[in-house]
Structure 1
Amino acid sequence: MKKLTIALATIAALNVSFSAEAHNDRFQNDHCEVNLNKDITITPEHILIRENDTTLYDIYKDKTVFYKGVELDLTQEQKALVNQYSTSARKLIPEVNAIVIDGLDIASEALTMTFNELGVQTDIESKFTDLKHTLISRYNLEDGTYHFQANGMDVNYVNDEVDRAVEEVMEEIVPSLVGNVLQLIGKAMTEGEGAFEHLEDLDVRVEERIEAQSARLEEKVESFCFSVEHVDELENELSRTSSKLKELDVIKYRHNR
């Protein structure tokens, strides 16, 4: 009965284990903590930094800075820093997108493999594709415009959404899952424990399947952290050059070394 016991324990734990997988280190960012002190909107020509519905800074075409509607007279050093800051901030967008997409792809892969092993038919890929669009559309508005709210650029925010998606999928497939489990139990009673052999070490095989993808995602998160750290340093440098740039305090960053 050992195999039967192990298989039943594995199946019973699925609802918890794969929901928890969204909170596993693979989907969390253990490298850094990133958040925003102010709202920021990035368009093809502008970077708008706002607080309490007031535009504090408008960086136009990566070189001209307006502070509360008045153009600042920048030194050559400041112009160079503004250009670095603006272009580096823009490069964060594709990195955020990659983290969102890869995190959801890993969750989808793990769940698809698990349910296939259990013989449960569910349209997981479609659900996670829709979730990708939902997450990215939260800050990707239109025509190359991106908007992040204060406290809204935490790279860990994918966790909650993946967790919610897993829970929704599990709720939908529970009837099918229970039916398949009962069929397996019936088969085991008539044919022996061999009916459960394909479920042995399922968690290990799922882990192996997503291992390479997870490693690449971790590298992307680490790269994102260093990119944000660079933007934060540029922001600090700029704020030290002028009293009118002191409110350029957008990024709240901490590296978990």
Structure 2
Amino acid sequence: MAFAHGILIAPEHIRIMQNNRTHVQINADSQLFIRGEWTTLNAEDTALLQRYSQGLRKFVPEIVSIAVDGVELGLSGIEAMFTGIGSEAQQAEWRELVNETTFQWMSRFVRTNEHFYLAPQSLNELDYFLHGELKPQLDNLARHTVGAVWGALRDALRHSDNNFERTDNQEWQSVGALVNKINSGLDAKAVELEEKSALFCQRMQALDKIELQLHQRVPALLRYDVVAQKD
């Protein structure tokens, strides 16, 4: 199962989007706008639209939250390691790396207060996002930033009265421990997704049936097949 269009969930409306443009908007779960034009609905059509809208409201935020929590978990662990360590220039460089990674992933999953955005993708792609893309990216980011943090800390301590030294082996053991902690948290999110995958598929199949009925009653929606079954 897959979402063929981007979906933005807000308290007052739902937007179905393509290339950052809104093509369909549902206001208050009962008013339908297609390409900016209000579509008149009878009582049965409105009831069907409400079922469809409420289904998206229950489902999309849950998917987005699993992905966003995974990203925040990994990045917060990295950021905590370099807070207050190194020069201002080094901290700016590390934060830029974290922000770049955050922006890259948050273009696909956005959660801001009561607003949720899910980019077009399938449930399999979400699983790959957690396993195949996010974990390697965070692993590389952790090794780059945390390794630099330990280097800055080691240099500072070398010039202190204690003349403290850390070996490379000790340094990378510390980095490895953080990476393992981050991966453990991401694995928990992946397990959560796997445990819910059957339920998610059932919900999407139910939404697909409602959407099909809605398309039959409002033909102008046919070109916006949001919930789709992948071959």
TM-score (norm 1): 0.53
Residue matched to 1:47:
14
Q: Does 1:158 align with 2:130?
A: yes
Partner residue in 1 for 2:222: 246
Picking from 34, 46, 62, the partner of 1:95 is 62
* Cα drift, residue 100 of structure 1: 2.1
Number of equivalences: 183
SS in 2 for 1:229: helix
Query: What residue in structure 2 maps to residue 80 of structure 1?
Result: 47
Q: Confirm or deny that 1:179 pairs with 2:150.
A: no
Specify the structure having the higher radius of gyration (Cα): 1
Structure 2 unaligned blocks of 5 or more: 82-97, 152-165, 174-179
Structure 1 portions without partners, runs of 5+: 1-32, 109-122, 184-202
Q: Deviations over 1:181-210 (max 9, x none)?
A: 999xxxxxxxxxxxxxxxxxxx9xxxx999
Give the superposed CA RMSD: 4.3
**TM-score (ref. length: structure 2):** 0.58
Deviation at residue 82 of structure 1 after TM alignment: 0.6
How big is the shift at 1:246?
Answer: 1.3
For residues 138-149 of structure 1, the aligned pairs below 5 Å read 139-140=109-110, 142-149=112-119
Distance 1:182 1:57 in 2: 51
> Aligned partners of 2:50 and 2:172: how far apart in 1?
64
| CA distance in structure 1 between the aligned counterparts of 2:23 and 2:186, rounded to whole angstroms | 44
With 236-245 and 147-156 compared, the bigger mean Cα shift is at 147-156
In structure 2, how many angstroms separate the alpha carbons of the residues matched to 1:182 and 1:164?
18
* SS of equivalent to 2:53: helix
- Do the aligned residues in 1 keep the contact of 2:14 with 2:27 (CA within 8 Å)? yes
Q: Tell me if structure 2 keeps the 8 A contact 1:97–1:136.
A: no
Cα distance between partner residues in 2 of 1:50 and 1:210 = 29
Q: Does the 8 Å CA contact 2:66/2:189 hold for their aligned counterparts?
A: no
What are the residue-to-residue correspondences of 1:1-257 with 2, within 5 Å?
A: 33-36=1-4, 38-51=5-18, 54-100=21-67, 126=80, 135=105, 139-140=109-110, 142-151=112-121, 154-156=125-127, 157-159=129-131, 160-171=133-144, 172-173=146-147, 179-180=169-170, 215-254=191-230
Distance in 2, matches of 1:50 and 1:214, equals 27
Task: Give the % identical residues.
Answer: 24
Distance 2:167 2:122 in 1: 36
Alignment check: 8 A CA contact 1:95 1:224 kept: no
Q: Structure 1 residues 133, 234: closer, same or farther in 2, change over 3 A?
A: farther
Give the distance between the partners of 1:227 and 1:45, measured in 2 at CA.
Answer: 22
